[in-house]
Amino acid sequence: MDEIDEIYEAVLDGDMRATPEYVQAALDAGVSASAILQEGMIAAMNEVGRLFEEDEYFVPEMLIAARAMKAGLSILRPFLVDAGIEPVGKVVLGTVQGDMHDIGKNLVGMMLEGAGFEIVDLGTDVAPAQFVEAVRNGVDILGLSALLTTTLSSMESTIKAIEEAGLRGAVKLMVGGAPVTDGYARKIGADGYAPDASQAATLAISLIA
């Protein structure tokens, strides 16, 4: 098995101890930082997403895989910076105003990170103005989460606030959460909806393509 395969397998197994060791070994063997990231870790997280959608993998397995990748990235990051490798895009995430749920949003953040995005997590109960501010600072995708039928309206008012600030053209908007549907996403003017964390990663890739 070559170095990349070992990294791929370690991330897929959620092995938080082995992943950074294999990353170090690959770097020592002269494998490029870009290949380690793309063919090792991102490819593995892609597979995690596929297995999740097939009901082969479950949330705890997704969590440990994301943690393993994070551990590997802590070794790899300086080499990525040196090689001038940029994240595939920048995503700002947050749960909308009045809503305290964060587990779903966190899972989305992990899968997006696994797909190579830079993530800025604004947390829960985020006011429209905070989202507007984040978009103003430059971001490719804004991801809004809502878990209550009552806070769906905050999702809508956040999108309105971005429109009113004249920033709607500057960002792609994706939405998700238990009460959100594809139809609702279209109705409030979002660019996309995903039913789970794995499909959110696929959606994000397609939005910046």
How many Å is the Cα radius of gyration of the chain?
Answer: 18
**Does 58 help bind another protein (rule: CB under 8 A)?**
yes
Q: Are 79 and 145 in contact (CB under 8 A)?
A: no
| β-strand partners of 96 | 126
| Alpha helix positions (H), 54-190 | 59-82, 103-114, 128-136, 152-164, 182-187
Kindly indicate which of the ranges 80-88, 137-145, 164-172, 173-181 contains the residues binding another protein, using the contact rule CB under 8 A: 173-181
Of 35, 81, 103, 129, which one interacts with another protein (CB under 8 A)? 103
Compare residues 52 and 117 and give the one whose CB is closer to another protein: 52
Tokens coding 19: 């992943």
Q: How far apart are CA 96 and CA 90, in angstroms?
A: 19
Kindly indicate which of the ranges 18-26, 31-39, 80-88, 142-150 contains the residues binding another protein, using the contact rule CB under 8 A: 142-150
Nearest to 104 by CA among 207, 192, 203, 196: 196
**Does 150 help bind another protein (rule: CB under 8 A)?**
yes
**Does 181 help bind another protein (rule: CB under 8 A)?**
yes
**Does 50 help bind another protein (rule: CB under 8 A)?**
no
**Does 13 help bind another protein (rule: CB under 8 A)?**
no
Size of the site for another protein (CB under 8 A): 23
- Sequence-separated (6 or more) residues with CB below 8 Å from residue 169: none
Kindly indicate which of the ranges 33-41, 86-94, 102-110, 157-165 contains the residues binding another protein, using the contact rule CB under 8 A: 102-110
Q: How far apart are CA 30 and CA 26, in angstroms?
A: 6
Of 124, 154, 158, 199, which one interacts with another protein (CB under 8 A)? 124
Compare residues 77 and 187 and give the one whose CB is closer to another protein: 187
Q: How far apart are CA 203 and CA 174, in angstroms?
A: 8
Tokens coding 13: 């197994």
Instruction: Please give the residue ranges that form the binding site for another protein (CB under 8 A).
Output: 55, 58-60, 62-63, 100-101, 103, 106-107, 124-125, 148-150, 152, 178-181, 184, 187
